[in-house]
Structure 1
Amino acid sequence: MTSSETPAPPAIQEEYFLDVPTGIEVEAEDEEVPEIDRPWNPEQIRVNSKQFSLRNALDMIDDESLELAPDFQRGRVWKHVQKSRLIESVLLQIPLPAFYFAEDVDGFMRVVDGLQRLSTIHDFVRGEDGAEFALKGLEYLGEAVEGKRFVDLPAPWKRRINNAQIMAHVIDPTTPPDVMYDIFKRINTGGTPLNAQEIRHCMSKDRSRGILKKMTSSEEFNAATNGMGGHVRMNDREMALRFAAFWLHGAQGYIEFGAMDPFLQRTTAILDSQQEADDVKIDKLMSDFRKAMKNAHVVFGDQAFRKWPEGPDHMGKYPINRALFEAWAITLANYGTGDLERRTESIVGRARSLMTRDYRYLEAITSSTGDTKRVIHRFRATAEAADAGQ
């Protein structure tokens, strides 16, 4: 098919979470691409198993030596009855499934697998500011403890909770980050598995978290994305991280990594490092990001970062497309707003033509979007479209 022929419009699917649309287009990857392109050296995988009492684990949470991933609300989605029945299981002395923690070089640990369970127990036993809850909908201990909060339980029940033992597999800090990330992907088999950005959030440090949160809390970002900041699945932070990755490395720099996961993982490590990205560099990153978001809104309005083919506009808008976001955001950061305002009609016309007539471009923003050739093509074609009307 030539670029002058009009391909069949691609099927556009929106991601859902708990049966609610998230506003983000599904990013279809090639199922034949293997998870790992080379075997890891088994000697690099260091996982130690440790046993803790729940009292000990809760103490570590309170003194911040065990971290429940700040700003991570994705793991706190259980309903009241689900939470209560977890506590009931502890009271019945049913062993809990093993937890996975990640340890850093300073001895601090982060919960990676089991965040919901540990958060629930902490809320029940030591919750403050409304986080605590009363037991409800129990199956076996209803008459004894139904409707009671932890403070209301008889002393023997409190001791049973505090003394309950949990098993935690602790990933040693000497495990290479890419190996650690793959371990987390493999153990991530809970009821609603974490997505890639949620795993990165659990593995990262305060600095990168703060940078991404500040980027996605900006007025410019929320104007361009119709209030995407604070996204329930952290897709907002992944979008900001993608901008940072291409801002730091460039589209050509992506070739060295060959896939999105290691590319974004490396960028997270850079953002966490004052030596690799000092405050001056981060300030420039923030400034360029806000500029890009402002320019995107100026040019595309409420259609920014969404597929917008030629023809009669459909009712509403398509969900945000992450491949379009990274390509247009990086490109538009290089232009003055006044220049773009004068050429908006030409740029929009060229962009919509790409999304209607250029089959190769449609492929590059629809499926296997991490393929190096598709990444390079969409950045090149987007840059040419941004020059329209000059």
Structure 2
Amino acid sequence: MTTSDIPEPLKITEEHFLDTGTDVEAEIETEDAPPEIDRPWNPEQIRVNTKQFSLRNVLDMIEDESLELAPDFQRGRVWKPVQKSRLIESVLLQIPLPAFYFAEDTDGLMRVVDGLQRLSTIHDFVRGGEKQGFPLKGLEYLQSAVEGKRFEDLPAPWKRRIYNTQIVTNVIDPTTPADVMYDIFKRINTGGTPLNAQEIRHCMSKDRSRRILREMTFTAEFNEATNGMGGHIRMNDREMALRFAAFWLMGTEGYAKYAAMDSFLQRTTTVLDSAGEADARVDGLMSAFRKAMVNARLVFGEQAFRKWPLYSTGRNPINRALFETWSITLAAYEAADLEQRREAIVAAARQLMSRDYRYLEAITSSTGDVRRVRYRFEATARAAEAGK
């Protein structure tokens, strides 16, 4: 065997956030990829009401928990001090803020969908929160008046100006179907640092699915298998756990019904949020997930869920498609069996990632294509049988 026998490797691109690598490989959509299922929504299903609130009213809603700033969602609080201060300066200058989007559920609870960073900043400044407020710095127009001051230090007229500021809010009615709501979120998601798909799902979801995914990604087994991925700043850890849950609950045939990863994962989120629908299976899901993570670490070590072709050096970012296929596949095996066949399985997997160009495409580009999903699961299952 020579290196000339091995196809030219596909380029691996790591996702970045704030100029820092996330240790997750970017998924690529090719121009000739088949389109997702066409979904011509009935306009009557889209119900969005426009309301106006004062900032005092909004802050009170946050305090009494009738408006939720997406708990566990740290990505929305990454603005630098100067960015935060200049938003407050804009409010003090009475510059109208862009419209906000809230989603209302059947219990009347509202969640912030678009505008989370802005409201989090205003809430931190006025009501303190965990950070006990922050001093204004780097202002452009009000340096002499309020530079260096916290909210409690502002003169009463400036405080009233903040409290009385009116914001325009588009509230998505709870009768809007979940898939329609998700599409609305994607369309309005145009801020300075747009939310990714899992962050949008997190904003839409209920506490139940959030708790399940958080528990999955904070297990020692997951973090050992992924080099400490739990608590990922872009929620890629939650997306990987959700992908496992989706294929574990519904399989590849269930995926074929939706034929698009976003729809498949959104449906799974709804299932996890339904107290009656998935109750009996959650314990089994957690057990299978832990087992899969232990087995992945046992077989692949630090290369688990990463492209590891022959003659490669170093360690590539985690690949989502490899995560879902190998985790689901390995969950069906016992550790003692895998330990005996480890070398054969690794060799078979590395051959796939070196010589099978169809497999490489299936884990690299247009990974939501049903044919590619099926092929990578089938090929992975064959590799897991190596050494028998």
TM superposition score category, shorter chain reference: over 0.9
Residue 130 of structure 1: how far off its partner (Å):
2.0
Is 1:243 the counterpart of 2:244? The answer is yes
- Residue 79, structure 1, aligned to residue 80, structure 2: yes
- Corresponding residue of 1:233: 234
User: 1:131 Cα shift?
Assistant: 4.5
Alignment of 1:299-338 (within 5 A): 299-311=299-311, 313-314=312-313, 316-338=314-336
CA shift at 1:129, angstroms? Answer: 3.1
**Deviation by residue 1:26-45 (Cα, 9 ceiling, x = unmatched):** 10023465577132111011
Cα distance in 2 for residues equivalent to 1:31 and 1:215: 35
Equivalent residue for 1:8?
8
Please state how far the C-alpha of 1:8 moved relative to its aligned partner.
1.3
Match of 1:157 in 2: 158
User: For residues 1-390 of structure 1, what are the structure 2 equivalents within 5 Å?
Assistant: 6-31=6-31, 34=35, 37-278=38-279, 280-311=280-311, 313-314=312-313, 316-390=314-388
SS in 2 for 1:75: helix
* Counterpart Cα distance in 2 of 1:294 and 1:175: 41
The answer to whether the 8 Å contact 2:36/2:260 transfers is no
Q: Is 1:350–1:388's contact at 8 Å kept on the other side of the alignment?
A: yes
SS in 2 for 1:116: helix
Q: What does the per-residue CA deviation read over 1:123-144, in whole Å, with 9 as the maximum and x for residues that have no partner?
A: 0000133241011111111111
What are the superposed Cα offsets for residues 41-65 of structure 1, whole Å, 9 maximum, x if unpaired?
1101100000000000000001110
One-letter amino acid of the counterpart of residue 218, structure 1: T
Amino acid aligned to 1:86:
L
Q: Take 1:129 and 1:113, find their aligned partners in 2: how far apart are those partners?
A: 22
RMSD of aligned alpha carbons: 1.2
Distance (Å, rounded) in 2 between the aligned partners of 1:341 and 1:38: 46
Aligned partners of 2:326 and 2:380 also within 8 Å: yes
* CA distance in 2 between partners of 1:38 and 1:102 (Å): 21
Q: 1:256 to 1:18 in 2, by over 3 A?
A: same
Question: CA offsets per residue over residues 251-307 of structure 1, 9 Å max, x none?
Answer: 1211000000000000000000111101x4111100000000000000000000000
- Report the AA paired with residue 363 of structure 1: E
Residue 208 of structure 1: how far off its partner (Å):
0.3
Judge conservation of contact 2:36–2:259 (CA < 8 Å) in 1. no
The question of whether the paired residues in 1 share the 8 Å contact of 2:259 and 2:368 is answered with: yes
Partner deviation per Cα, 1:99-129 (whole Å, 9 max, x = no partner): 0000001111000000000000000000133
* Structure 2 counterpart SS, 1:367: coil
CA–CA distance in structure 2, aligned partners of residues 204 and 338 of structure 1: 38
Displacement of 1:227 = 0.4
Opposite residue 71 of structure 2, the aligned amino acid is P
TM-score, L = length of structure 1: 0.97
Q: Which of the pair is proportionally richer in helix?
A: 2
Secondary structure of the residue aligned to 1:342 is helix
After superposition, the C-alpha distances for 1:204-231 in whole angstroms (9 at most, x for unaligned) are 0000000000000000000000000000
- Where does the alignment leave 5 or more consecutive residues of structure 1 unmatched? none
Q: In structure 2, what is the Cα distance between the partners aligned to 1:307 and 1:242?
A: 18
| Contact residue 91 and residue 157 of structure 1 kept, 8 A | yes
User: 5+ residue gaps in structure 2?
Assistant: none
Q: Secondary structure at the match of 1:101?
A: strand
CA distance in 1, matches of 2:343, 2:337: 12
SS in 2 for 1:93: coil
Equivalents in 1 of 2:44, 2:204: separation in Å? Answer: 21
The residue type paired with residue 144 of structure 2 is E
Task: Tell me the distance in 1 between the aligned counterparts of 2:134 and 2:141.
Answer: 18
* d(CA) in 1 for partners of 2:337, 2:132: 51
Task: Quote the Cα distance in structure 2 between the aligned partners of 1:333 and 1:131.
Answer: 45
Number of matched pairs? 384
TM-score by structure 2 length? 0.97
In structure 2, do the counterparts of structure 1 residues 84 and 167 end up closer, same or farther at CA, with 3 Å as the change threshold?
same
Alignment check: 8 A CA contact 2:272 2:278 kept: yes
How far apart, CA to CA, are the structure 1 residues paired with 2:37 and 2:376? 25
The question of whether the paired residues in 2 share the 8 Å contact of 1:221 and 1:293 is answered with yes
